[in-house]
Structure 1
Amino acid sequence: MLILPNMRKVLVGLLLVVGSVALTVPQPAWAQVQAIVDIEGRRVDINLPVRRVLLGEGRLLHLVAAVVGENPLDHVAAWRDDLIEADPASYRQYLEVFPDLENLPRFSGQEDSLLDPESAIALDADAVLLNVDARPAMEDAGLEEKLAAVGIPLLYIDFRHDPARNTEPTIRLLGRLFDQEKRAAEIVAFRKREIDRVTKTVDAHDPERPRVFIERVGGYTDDCCLSFGDGNFGKFVELAGGENIAKSAIPSTFGQVNPELVIAADPAHVVVTSAEWEAYVPGGRWIPLGPDADINKARNKLEWYLTRPAYTGTRAGRERKFHGIWHQFYNSPFDFIAIQRLAKWFHPTLFTDLDPDETFRNFHDRFLPVSYRSGYWVSLVDE
């Protein structure tokens, strides 16, 4: 069975260091077993509300913080360390407000990593949340049944593969877990309203859709040309009034197209998803986007992408319509911000009154325990 490297030893060691972090807080007197359906359509019996969950996706901290409306650490038994490495700017931001975050037990691994039941027991978790990517490996190893046998419910969530369909039910799922269904509904309504501001305008005016190429994980690898099919950022492009040129070439959410296809498609815009990835690719060509990003540095790094052979002679290259955007919009409850930002790049005259910065600031003020800090996107085109 494939398990996260030395996971049990790592977690036990962390528990010893922080002094028995796993609390033995009794379940609330009003808690009762209820059936809940996860993103994969699995019916799971669970004692609600839960006290503490194990986050198989560290970036779920963004949603937990929004849904619980208080210190998110009170509700997390442990988390995967992807936020620390993949989004260090957000980690630093939360660490400033919640210094104990540094001591929260954590484990390493990829989106499709496995989790052994013994670790979940040791951490006193009431439930485990995993990305849908992990399900095939969990089923192959029989770990769904093993977790159920020790009384720890497993729930699958998704912002990554099909956010257009699964973001709303994922938000509502967490709202039910933490007895915050009203607050979750408010988050859902906020998200829908901000997406509607884009899609209703596009539908009403039916503008010409510019051809767009999304370069996925820019700077994480030297490979070209990683992109999205009809999911995730590919869908964001369509909702924002653009035409995703990789849609017909990539049958699933993620994939790769050859440079010749990009040149032939002649995109009017190139959007690079990237972030501060020093932990993965020291000194790489990634663009350090995220809260408090140095935009001048980000713009200088974005300039290099004009030299990629895949963009030779394209309209985007001639008109310098290259943009960088925070990669983590693809795996968080903040997809509506990316949709607004793309819409303003594609149709600047149509969306003069739309301000994604203000939208994100309002969301932080209303739902998050950290203050908004700009730095999530950059462009070579003056606005």
Structure 2
Amino acid sequence: MNLNKLALGAMLALTALLPLPTRAADTITVTDITGRQVQVKAPVEKVILGEGRQTYFVAALDTDDPFRRVVGWRDDFEKADLDGYRDYLAKYPQIAKLPKFGGFKEGTFDVEQAVSLKPDVILLNIEAKTATDDAKLIEKLAKINIPVVFVDFREKPFENTDPSMRLIGKLFGKEARAEEFIAFRNQQINLVAERLAKANPAKPVVMMERAGGYSDDCCMSFGNENFGKFVEIAGGQNLAARIIPGTFGVVNPEQIIAANPDHVIVTGSNWELYVPGGAWVGVGSGADKAKAREKLKNLMKRPAFTGVKAVRDNQVHAIWHQFYNSPYQFVAIQAMAKWLHPELFKDLEPEQTMKTLYERFLPVPYRTGYWVSLKDKD
């Protein structure tokens, strides 16, 4: 027997048992949402999430194992979306042990802790830019070769969601997956936009209340961006568009009464860890719809809404607040379009769209509960 052939066979058998080599990281230059050019070794292997809710887009790209790159994150996911957090915790219990950070805006981000984790990149939302500039944190981190990249799904989501997903796809080596998500997102938005453009129906006036019941104040709302823009794309007229100059602001009760909106839409989530037992509407994954409707009904007893057309006609709705800070905005647009133009969109099924999003792009099971309406019976 040829000993050389035996040795070669043994070597081949051993090689087959060894793990395949991972793709070597190359230094690439990316342009983030602020226009900064940043050098990053990619595909990145260690990531710090500047916001825990960035899980929403990380999971859409690293669906097989969304936390395999995450070495630390901000402590907001559990607090801001308790139901969603529990969904991920049930499948990935290790996330309970991930190092947690405070926020850049609050000045509680621990730079020394970040350095100890040796991340390849820190992903920050664009709203943290002013705070990081003031503290010169980006320059400090750059000196120890930790790049910072900004993304945006909140301030200008219709301008920045697609490029943000492409940017993260490039960093993760998931460009094709990012394009698949972008194509799905745009297809679902176009189902609404194209039909509205053709039919050109009258636009009902909509009062968007941001986080209604979170505090006693009335009423936080949205200007011409974020949920305010969702209203426009869904075929409505945003009551606060001429009142609030930017993305976020406040509408006085007198202004709501005077505008007499046709619809009221309140954003909500499970904020039990922020405001225990609060008046907020706990819509989200697996929400108790009957309880959510009851809380929504109680919110309409405040002076700002008593007697307005939307309340008289039972055209009052609540929707998951976190649509405002994730790449899933298209589902909210479909739900809103169906509320505002039920006949035009009678064949549109936003519930199915949300379910398809989960089945195609997310690793946890879908549970209904992301929106409710006072006119619903279920």
Distance 1:41 1:112 in 2: 24
Is 1:306 the counterpart of 2:262? The answer is no
Change (3 A) 1:174 1:113: farther
- Residue from 316, 319, 342 that aligns with 1:325: 319
> 1:108 Cα shift?
3.1
Distance 2:354 2:106 in 1: 30
Change (3 A) 1:226 1:248: same
Per-residue CA deviations over 1:72-121 (Å, capped at 9, x if unaligned) read: 11110101111100101001000111111111111233755463432221
> 1:371 Cα shift?
1.3
SS of corresponding position for 2:266: strand
Is 1:218 the counterpart of 2:218? The answer is no
Please give the residue correspondences for 1:35-50 in structure 2 after superposition, counting only pairs within 5 Å.
35-50=29-44
> 1:281 Cα shift?
1.1
Is 1:288 the counterpart of 2:279? The answer is no
Which shows bigger deviation, 280-289 or 184-193?
280-289
Which shows bigger deviation, 355-364 or 29-38?
29-38
Amino acid in structure 1 at the alignment position of 2:49: L
Per-residue CA deviations over 1:257-294 (Å, capped at 9, x if unaligned) read: 11111111110000000111111111110111111101
- Residue from 329, 353, 361 that aligns with 1:359: 353
> 1:370 Cα shift?
0.7
- Asked if the contact 1:112/1:133 (under 8 Å) is kept, the reply is no
Is 1:169 the counterpart of 2:163? The answer is yes
SS of corresponding position for 1:289: coil
Runs of 5+ consecutive residues of structure 1 not aligned to the other structure: 1-26
Amino acid in structure 1 at the alignment position of 2:87: Q
Residue 57 of structure 1 aligns with which residue? 51
> 1:226 Cα shift?
0.6
- Residue from 336, 350, 354 that aligns with 1:342: 336
Normalising by structure 2, what TM-score?
A: 0.92
- Residue from 150, 169, 175 that aligns with 1:181: 175
Aligned length: 357
Distance 2:23 2:206 in 1: 54
Please give the residue correspondences for 1:1-383 in structure 2 after superposition, counting only pairs within 5 Å.
30-109=24-103, 113=107, 115-382=109-376
Amino acid in structure 2 at the alignment position of 1:80: R
Amino acid in structure 1 at the alignment position of 2:138: E
Runs of 5+ consecutive residues of structure 2 not aligned to the other structure: 1-20
Amino acid in structure 2 at the alignment position of 1:149: K
Distance 1:111 1:172 in 2: 25
Normalising by structure 1, what TM-score?
A: 0.91
Change (3 A) 1:29 1:68: closer
Distance 2:88 2:155 in 1: 26
- Asked if the contact 1:114/1:137 (under 8 Å) is kept, the reply is no
Distance 2:51 2:185 in 1: 21
